[in-house]
Chain A
Amino acid sequence: MIEFHLETRSGVPAYLQVVQQVRQAVRLGILRPGDQLPTVKEVVAQLTLNPNTVLRAYRQLDLEGIVEGRRGVGTFVSEGAAPAPPDDREDLRPSLQKWITRARSAGLDDDAIATMFDDTLRPPAIARVA
Chain B
Amino acid sequence: MIWLGWRQQRTETLIAAALLALVAAILVPSGIEMAHAYSRDGLSHCLGFNKAGGNLACGNVIGSFEQRFSKYSSLVDWFTLLPGLIGVVLAAPYALELERGTNRLAWTQSITRRRWVTTKLGLAAGSALVAATALILLLVWWRQPFVRLDGRMDNGVFDSQGVVIIGYTLFALGLALAIGAVWRRAIPAVMVAFVGYFVARIFTDIWLRQRFAPTESLTWRPANGPDPARLRHAWVITEGPSDKFGHLLGAGKASVCAGPGCPFPGPPNWMHAVFVPASDFWSLQFTELGLFAAIALALIAFAGWWTLHRE
Indicate yes or no for A touching B, C-beta below 8 A. no
Chain A interface residues toward B at CB < 8 A: none
Chain B interface residues toward A at CB < 8 A: none
